Structure 1
Amino acid sequence: MLRPLCRLLERQPIFCLSIRLSCTSALKFALGWLCALWLALILGWSAPGKSAPANLSTNFVSTSFSTANFSAEPATQLPPPAVHPLPPFLAQWQDSEQQGDYFDAIEPTTAGYLVWSTFPVRVYIQPPDAADTTGRTQAWSEAVQQALQEWAVYLPLTITPDSATADISIWRAAPPLQPLAPQTEPNQPLIDRLPRVRAAETRYEIFVSAPQSILSHRYTIHLSPNQTSSYILATARHELGHALGIWGHSPLPTDALYFSQVRHSPAISHRDINTLKRIYEQPTRLGWKLR
């Protein structure tokens, strides 16, 4: 049995749009305008070879960080923060060019930094749809597996066919739709209240695993297939970076964890790995037994 300690719903958005309108006479004009906008989104982000329209936000991730609530367990039972041994590759990693990192942008939780201590990390990737005759689900799967292979150079990862036992589960689905933002001004245009465009979302959950009573965590990633293969690869690379512990964003467009999409998506950079290593050098409550 797993005893949930808390559920942290940390949303990592990238391209998707929710529109909620009531067709009253007062909104007919807005409805027509928004339909045109929706068509532009479809043409701009789904057609092969198209780049995102310049006049629309293409933020790769817009995150709202929060801390864990451990009220379900007395504080005296929580393990004290401690440092785990570094994974072999990170222990040997040296950046001879000294390109720096963005560790100061990483947000620890009340449980500490979101590091893995048991390897290999088990990753479930939703398999292709056997009934799909377009090849889109196969292309999605191949792009996600490529992103996984890129990160597996730095941390031990393995693909598991069982989502129930996976540490990270990646699903071929758009993130859940979000409601309109609250109205903040009397005559605020409806377009200003639309949620940010998204194509992926990463969530994590902290729980106590039995029978060892280890404070543990796991991730769920929703990754939309309605993108070009290159965007799916870039998105998967970015989201896996979060799920491996980089719970924050780089300010530089040359890093895989840059906060915004760019025309030519970068590979995993030295700065990404420098940041990852520093994260794994930090104390955490995760991976330790409750007292």
Structure 2
Amino acid sequence: MALSVPKVHPLPPILAEWTDRSGDYFDRVQKTEPEYLVWSRFPVKVYVQPADQWSQTWVTLMTQAVNEWKAYFPLELVDRRDSADIRIDRASIPLRFPPVERVRFADVRFELYEQDAILQHRMIIRVQPNRPDLSMLAAARHELGHALGIWGHSSLETDVMYFSQVRTPPLISARDVNTLKRVYEQPTRLGW
């Protein structure tokens, strides 16, 4: 796949209107192969794996996390897995041996593909069920931050993108939104 020259996309309207001066942690966001992981078509479509009779709470929590980010970024819940840009799946996260990092019960990965000669991506979030509700919600908030483009972590416990779970998980902070906005002001090869 031929990679285009990195260019900046227009900001999503919600981020374009966002103004706050409380700082960010953009310096901790990493570039990937296509530069920054930004979406260029809105709303970004999110699919939450449906519930069985035991997992309705999981679906409710995942949907709540999507709706919380929706206040800052254009997202749409969809019913079809194949039409989603971001998928949120119920899945156990396998332990790695030997353990080289902390135990995780949620993660996100991206896949690149080309459609109509345009470089695109999709995100797959896995959140382990059967955890305390607050932990599942915090994990979904955090992984959605990655899926929206914050490919890094904050060093402050008051940010959703703090690198580890904390006793009292924070809501999405102004610093999280400021960082997301800075990401979307960067050039990328995605969407071109």
TM-score interval for Structure 1 and Structure 2 normalised by the shorter chain = over 0.9
2:61 to 118, 143, 147: 143
Query: In structure 2, how many angstroms separate the alpha carbons of the residues matched to 1:119 and 1:200?
Result: 25
Query: In structure 2, how many angstroms separate the alpha carbons of the residues matched to 1:101 and 1:195?
Result: 26
Structure 1 equivalent of residue 48 of structure 2: 125
Structure 2 equivalent of residue 27 of structure 1: none
- 1:194 shift after superposition: 7.1
Structure 1 equivalent of residue 3 of structure 2: 78
Amino acid at match of 1:80: V
Query: In structure 1, how many angstroms separate the alpha carbons of the residues matched to 2:183 and 2:11?
Result: 10
Count of residue correspondences: 192
Q: CA RMSD in A?
A: 1.2
Does 1:152 find its partner at 2:70?
A: yes
Alignment of 1:168-207 (within 5 A): 168-178=86-96, 180-181=97-98, 193=99, 196-207=102-113
Does 1:91 find its partner at 2:16?
A: yes
| 3-state DSSP of counterpart to 2:109 | strand
Structure 1 runs, 4 residues or longer, greater than 6 Å off: none
Does 1:214 find its partner at 2:118?
A: yes
- 1:177 shift after superposition: 3.7
Query: In structure 2, how many angstroms separate the alpha carbons of the residues matched to 1:194 and 1:270?
Result: 32
Does 1:262 find its partner at 2:166?
A: yes
Query: In structure 2, how many angstroms separate the alpha carbons of the residues matched to 1:207 and 1:176?
Result: 26
Q: Report the identity percentage.
A: 55
Normalised by the length of structure 1, the TM-score is: 0.64
1:243 to 147, 159, 162: 147
Segments of structure 2 that go 5 or more residues without pairing to the other structure are: none
Amino acid at match of 1:226: N
| 3-state DSSP of counterpart to 2:123 | strand
Segments of structure 1 that go 5 or more residues without pairing to the other structure are: 1-72, 182-192
CA offset digits 1:205-254 (Å, max 9, x no partner):
11101xx2110000111101121111111110000000000000000000
CA offset digits 1:161-215 (Å, max 9, x no partner):
111221111111112342x22xxxxxxxxxxx57631111111011101xx2110
* Contact 2:95–2:103, Cα closer than 8 Å, also in 1: no
Query: In structure 1, how many angstroms separate the alpha carbons of the residues matched to 2:161 and 2:174?
Result: 12
Amino acid at match of 1:94: T
Query: In structure 2, how many angstroms separate the alpha carbons of the residues matched to 1:173 and 1:119?
Result: 27
